[in-house]
Chains A and B, each alone.
Chain A
Amino acid sequence: METAIRIKDLNVFAGKTQILNDINVEIPKNEITVILGPSGCGKTTLLKCMNRLTDLYPELKVSGEILINDKNIFAPGADISKLRQSMGLLSQRPYPLPMTIYNNIAYALKLRGVRGRRKLHLLVMDYLKQANLYEEVRQRLREPASRLSIGQQQRLCLARGLAVNPDIILADEPTSALDPISSRFIDEKFQEIKPHFTIVVVTHVLRQARRIADNVIFMYMGEVVEQGPAKEFFENPREEKTKSYLEGMFN
């Protein structure tokens, strides 16, 4: 089993409060890893560390290492744009760019260096189809993306995330704002594309974790309590805290 992301001694402080405490995890390649935990446990922060979105919050102090392809992303001189391009992000609520539906995807493609109108057009269509959106929007590609429904927007964001041609997909509770049908589509999509991507999903919904996870990282109060293959985690948890969480003591 290959490791896609290796996190070593990661600590994050916001002022004096510690948000993440000595995180050491390994995320296997081409599998779905679920970061599970009650809200406020630092799982979203951990996710944002992986593509350095923590840079946006000047109050956060990050130390430690995150190795992707054996390169530390916090090393000075690291190409952050490239790093982020190697990861597609799907956030809690969809945030379409203030452009047309078509350009939302075309913009991502252009950033990755795709040139030529024909090539762009074909790829945009392709990604729309991959996100199961093509049939619904093909008549309105020039409309602002904000006019789509939330479920459609999230699928557009998925298409946009795939369009940067990433190796890794980071998803932060991607289905929490969606209707059941859109949610199921996203979950199934993850299963389908798993062979080609390393997928990291943050969630606090136990049911979703059971359904999609190959591996689980369980976090509580800024620390990793337990990590391992999903089967073992759900059937045979090692830690007391995990057991009580699985029994529903926290929620």
Chain B
Amino acid sequence: MYLLNRHQRHVVNYSWMLFSLLIIAFLPFMLFGGLYFKSFLLLKTHTLKDLVFSHSWHPSRGEFGFYPFIVGSVWVTLLAIFISTPICLLTAINVTQYAKKRFLRIMHPVIDILAGIPSVVYGVWGILVIVPFISRYLGPWFGVQTMGYSILAGAFVLSIMIIPFILNIMIEIFRAIPTELKEATLSLGTTKWQMVKHVLLRKALPGIIASVGFGLARAFGETMAVLMVVGNVIKVPHSVFDPGYTLPALIANNYGEVLSIPQYDSALMFAALILLAVSLFFNLLMHFFIARYNKY
């Protein structure tokens, strides 16, 4: 009935599992090694300091200054985090402490759908709604003339994209606080709000910080949606209404021409390496932060 006997099947299954596991275990090293290997060419002729802090980006002249892209990425990411953190925090408290239990059951699919919407669709929505909103209302209101394609537009779209991600973690954190702690607090005679403010927020603080850190890492590498609304002008932005350029957008926009200019592919791989490093760094940091804090 079977091609192999029981023991042989066990061996096949076992080696298949082990092989798959090895792929996974080496993937991060392969990613890092591969990208480092490719950007090595660039690092040989340019110092790291030059690459990161130089303003001038002229691939055909062999000048690769990543500063405008790094600044653009940092602006968009931080701004997005500033927008979505309070929204997520307030909503998480509302959903877990104040709203009826039934409401959480509505919220879960909402979060799932928001998380599932593809990046490109967020970009389309940004072009349809956010960009005109900024150029027609927000810009003039601040007395600025803008096309709408700007750092702010990128940050807006990005902030919506990371809401499901951060909110999900925060909800879990507040749900994980034991009811007994709430009972102990209330029995001291606090009002519900005092309990939330003085005890729950403090208890949840490490988790809240971690969720923001994870959100930050995620936001930094987001490509398509930001690319579609951020303007893609290679210039260090001076205001949030200025167009900007982000590292992921740099990679995505120029992949087609890489082979025509020497070192260009190497430069793009270096940008990818920065993204990888930032992502790994923040995720590692947050993991250790949580591990450390959980000891207490």
Contacts and interface: CB of A to CB of B under 8 A. Distances in A.
> Does chain A touch chain B in the assembled complex, meaning CB atoms less than 8 Å apart?
yes
Interface of A: 48, 51, 53, 56, 58, 81-82, 84-85, 87-89, 91-93, 95, 97-99, 107-108, 111-112, 144, 146-147, 157, 160-161, 164, 170
B186 A84 contact: yes
Contacts of B203: 98
A53 B187 contact: yes
Given A56-B182, A56-B183, A99-B202, A164 B188 contact: yes
Contact of A95 (B100, B184, B198): B184
B188 A107 contact: yes
Nearest to A89: B187
B101 interface: yes
Contacts of A146: 296
Contact of A89 (B101, B179, B183, B202): B183
B187 A51 contact: yes
A246 to B, nearest CB: 30
B296 A84 contact: no
Given A56-B182, A93-B180, A97-B199, A84 B188 contact: yes
A95 B180 CA distance: 7
B186 A53 contact: yes
B13 interface: no
A199 to B, nearest CB: 15
Contact of A98 (B179, B183, B199): B199
A200 B205 CA distance: 35
B18 interface: no
B178 interface: yes
Contacts, number: 63
Given A58-B100, A58-B101, A95-B178, A89 B184 contact: yes
The size class of the interface chain B forms with chain A is 20 to 34
B253 interface: no
A128 to B, nearest CB: 16
Contacts of B191: 81
B189 interface: yes
A35 B180 CA distance: 20
A48 to B, nearest CB: 8
B184 A81 contact: no
A91 B180 contact: yes
A47 to B, nearest CB: 11
Contacts of B179: 56
B185 interface: yes
Given A97-B198, A164-B188, 13 more contacts: A56-B183, A58-B100, A84-B186, A84-B187, A85-B188, A85-B189, A92-B180, A95-B178, A95-B180, A97-B184, A98-B202, A98-B203, A111-B188
A56 B184 contact: no
Most chain A CB atoms below 10 A, which of B179, B187, B190, B198: B187
A211 to B, nearest CB: 25
Interface string B95-110: 0000011000000000
B183 A91 contact: yes
A170 B187 CA distance: 10
Contact of B184 (A85, A144, A157): A157
28 contacts: A51-B187, A53-B187, A56-B183, A56-B186, A81-B190, A84-B186, A84-B187, A84-B188, A84-B189, A85-B188, A87-B187, A89-B183, A89-B187, A91-B180, A91-B183, A91-B184, A95-B181, A97-B181, A97-B185, A98-B202, A107-B188, A107-B198, A108-B188, A111-B188, A111-B189, A111-B190, A112-B189, A146-B296
Interface in B180-214: 180-191, 194, 198-199, 202-203
Nearest to B186: A84
A98 B101 CA distance: 25
Most chain A CB atoms below 10 A, which of B178, B186, B189: B189
A166 to B, nearest CB: 9
A161 B185 CA distance: 10
Contacts of A112: 189
Nearest to A81: B189
A164 B189 CA distance: 8
A97 B183 CA distance: 11
A58 B180 CA distance: 15
B179 to A, nearest CB: 6
